[in-house]
Structure 1
Amino acid sequence: MDILRDADIDPAPLLNKRVAIVGFGNQGRAQALNLHDSGVDVVVALRGGSSSSTEALGHGLEVALVADAVASADLVMLLAPDEILGSLYREIEPSIRPGAALGFSHGLAIHFHFVAPRDDLDVFMVAPKGPGTALRSLYQQGDGMIALWAVAQDRSGAARALALAYGRAIGCARAGLLASSFAEECEADLFNESAVVWGAVPEILIAGFDTLVAGGVSPQVAYMECVGELKLIADLIEARGIAGMREAISNTAELGATLGGPRIVDAGVRQRMAEVLTEIRAGKFANALTREEADGYPRLEQARAEARALPVEQAFRSLRPKP
């Protein structure tokens, strides 16, 4: 798979183009600021009375009402939460210029048909592989965050060039842009969120903490051992890969990993991971997401409350410096 970087990409397709950022959350804020700092004409689309208006203006960004921002743009980036993109697109579609481009940073809305783009629009995706806060901080440091890109609809014949120029402007081509598809990016991302980094890893950390505490270890020591060292292993893997990480740790740690890891992540875990991927591809998660939004997010509210009450969270707070 080719990895495209700054030197491989022509920035010209984005020159003299106006970009409307619709959604000023984690990704929207970072991408708007990075575009602005790259010299792109960018406008943040906000609803009247939005609390984000003061923040955006304070960063030197132009702000306009949603319909006005969209109507003025050559490229409309939909960076609001996935579950509302369908209704949001239907609202703004009459304001989108004929022959304009529609951009996404996640494949879900297109892959699972939340959004059915107008036939005259170019449709592409540039999906940074990390949160917006990191995308912004890396950009400011002169670095970048790797991203996937794809084109779902190329009516102008220039959608690919525009997508790559956009990825360059937000700093991702400093690290690399990898070709993908809306389906591949969506399914892989949802799988990771459900079964690996955002789903399984925190549950393993909590289970490890609880096991040590139940075995008589103090909560603070259990936290440092099971949670506190996570960043260390993440940094080692980022720098050296998984094999390099194992070679960098002590023989004691490496033997423990060799003996203990496969007992935890056994054939049963791998089978359940495969089931999660099958369910994602069948649309089960996408359906659950739309129901959650329609019901007012009760499951997420309950999960957040339960997480704040966990003993591991109490240990975390006890180890933080007092203000």
Structure 2
Amino acid sequence: MPAKKWLDKEVSLDPIKKQTIAVIGYGIQGRAQASNMKDSGLNVIVGLRKGGKTWKQAEAEGHKVMEVADAAKAADIIHILIPDMEQEETYKRDIAKHVTAGKALSFSHGAAIHWKWIVPPKDVDVIMVAPKGPGQRVRELYQDGFGIPSLVAVHQDHTGKAWDRVLAMAKGIGSTRPGVLKTDFKEEVETDWFGEQVDLCGGTHALVMNAFETLVEAGYQPEVAYFECLHELKLITDLVQKYGLTGMYNRVSETARYGGLTRGPRVVDKDAKNKMKQVLNEIQSGEFAEEWVSKYKKEGKHSFARYMKDIENHQIEKVGKDLRKMMWPDQET
């Protein structure tokens, strides 16, 4: 059965026009979503730690900024956009006492609710609008008159108006322009983490690095290997995003088409798929969530350090830094 979809003309901002939305956090998503909703004519306040580095930035960009507890108290919809691992503590310390009857608790990722790091009271709506793209593109495409598609979900509908609320928020950030899809918190969390781990982030970086190493170890110039294994990847993924897998193959050379179709499945084979299933099982069972929470409690943001260092020290990053400086001299590395 196909997923339920909504387009821009089917959704109205009216259900939340007179409500106050507190965006908690002004990071990559918080900045984009708060700005988009404000530009859509919604009443937005931004909740931050006093003296935090984004306080002045949010004010300079035209937002009313308040401390987190004050923003949560003033809001009808509390939209939590701080990192997953900070949500539970911030909720208990600053937000929970202000989650009163009839309000909505909102997220852009369902982990805190699905894994019960946050357990909301029964007399509030619990909703989610999850853009399927990074915050920078959420803002850029909105300003271009379009938007990033989103997944929308209702975990708890106390008021009977939760769907009206979440769809209006999706419209406010521009997501109903390309379209939004109905999901639930469980599906969003498990598929989001799976994609990040085996394909979008983890799978891509591992595939690229192994391909690069294979060429360099065979005696090819690292600079040429960089272009073939990393730089051109964007050109292909752009085609895939716009035209699908078949459309991509129809737009590359016949040699690339035949070689890709016959050799690609040999590299990413059934053994790789079985490992993907293992990763999915770890996500579904809660094993990954427990591991991540435990790791973060012990090491905080240093949890990534060893893994990031391995990548930073890899030859592909050193070669790439020089080549990117050659191609885009004014770009930050």
CA offsets, 1:48-102, max 9 Å, x none? Answer: 1111111001100110111111100000001111112112221211123332100
Q: Report the Cα distance in structure 1 between the residues aligned to 2:119 and 2:286, rounded to whole angstroms.
A: 16
CA drift at 1:11: 1.4
1:288 equivalent in structure 2: 291
Moved more, 267-276 or 94-103: 94-103
1:103 paired with 2:106, answer yes
2:315 is aligned to: 311
SS at match of 1:55: helix
Matches for 1:28-43 after TM superposition, within 5 Å: 28-43=30-45
Counterpart of 1:8 in structure 2 is: 10
Given the alignment, which residue of 152, 156, 159 partners 1:153? 156
2:309 equivalent to 1:302: no
**CA–CA distance in 2 between the matches of 1:278 and 1:158?**
35
**Separation (CA, whole Å) in 1 of partners of 2:307 and 2:231:** 22
Task: Find the aligned partners of 2:127 and 2:258 in 1 and give their Cα distance.
Answer: 46
Letter in 1 for 2:171: R
Structure 1 residue 284: Cα displacement = 1.1
For residues 305 and 219 of structure 2, the distance between their equivalents in structure 1, rounded to whole angstroms, comes to 32
Q: Which residue of 2 aligns with 1:87?
A: 89
Aligned with 1:260: secondary structure?
helix
**How many percent of aligned residue pairs carry the same amino acid?**
38
Which amino acid in the other structure matches residue 156 of structure 2?
A: Q
1:73–1:97: 8 Å Cα contact kept in structure 2? no
Conservation of the 8 A alpha-carbon contact between 1:22 and 1:80: yes
Residues 96-125 of structure 1 show CA distances to partners (whole Å, capped at 9, x for unaligned) of 333210000011111111110111110001
Q: What amino acid sits opposite 1:149 in the alignment?
A: V
Equivalent residue letter for 1:95? H
Correspondence for 2:68 among 63, 66, 69 = 66
Cα distance in structure 2, aligned partners of 1:6 and 1:55:
30
Aligned to 1:249: 252
| Residues 289-315 of structure 1: CA deviation (Å, up to 9, x unaligned) | 211221123430111222211100011
CA RMSD of aligned residues (A): 1.1
Tell me if structure 2 keeps the 8 A contact 1:53–1:63: yes
Counterparts of 1:303 and 1:44, CA distance in 2: 33
Matching residue of 1:142? 145
Structure 2: gaps (5+ residues): none
Q: Counterparts of 1:289 and 1:248 in 2: how far apart (Å)? A: 41
The letter for the 1-side match of 2:23 is I
User: Which residue among 259, 262, 265 is the counterpart of 1:259?
Assistant: 262
TM-score (norm 1): 0.98
Task: Give the whole-Å Cα distance in 2 for the aligned partners of 1:7 and 1:228.
Answer: 39
Cα distance in structure 2, aligned partners of 1:114 and 1:37? 32
Query: Does structure 2 conserve the Cα–Cα contact (< 8 Å) formed by 1:103 and 1:124?
Result: yes
What is the CA-CA distance between 1:261 and the residue it aligns to?
0.5
What is the distance in 1 between the residues matched to 2:34 and 2:174?
Answer: 12
1:177 paired with 2:168, answer no
**Structure 1 Cα separation of the partners of residues 115 and 99 of structure 2:** 22
1:76 counterpart residue number? 78
Question: What is the distance in 1 between the residues matched to 2:29 and 2:295?
Answer: 21
Secondary structure at 2:245 match in 1? helix
Q: Deviations over 1:212-265 (max 9, x none)?
A: 111111111000000011111111111211011111111110111022101111
**What secondary structure is seen at the aligned counterpart in 2 of 1:295?**
helix
Residue 238 in structure 1 maps to residue 241 in structure 2: yes
User: Which residue is equivalent to 2:123?
Assistant: 120
Structure 2 partner of 1:162: 165
Structure 2 counterparts to residues 201-280 of structure 1, below 5 A = 201-280=204-283
Report the secondary structure of 1:217's partner residue.
coil
3-state SS, counterpart of residue 155 of structure 2: strand
Which letter maps to 2:126? V
Number of the residue aligned with 2:53: 51
Q: Distance in 2 between matches of 1:72 and 1:4?
A: 30
Q: Deviations over 1:275-296 (max 9, x none)?
A: 1111100001111221122112
SS at match of 1:294: helix
What are the residue-to-residue correspondences of 1:10-25 with 2, within 5 Å?
Answer: 10-25=12-27
In structure 2, distance between residues paired with 1:57 and 1:243: 46
Work out the CA distance in 2 between the residues paired with 1:160 and 1:64.
27
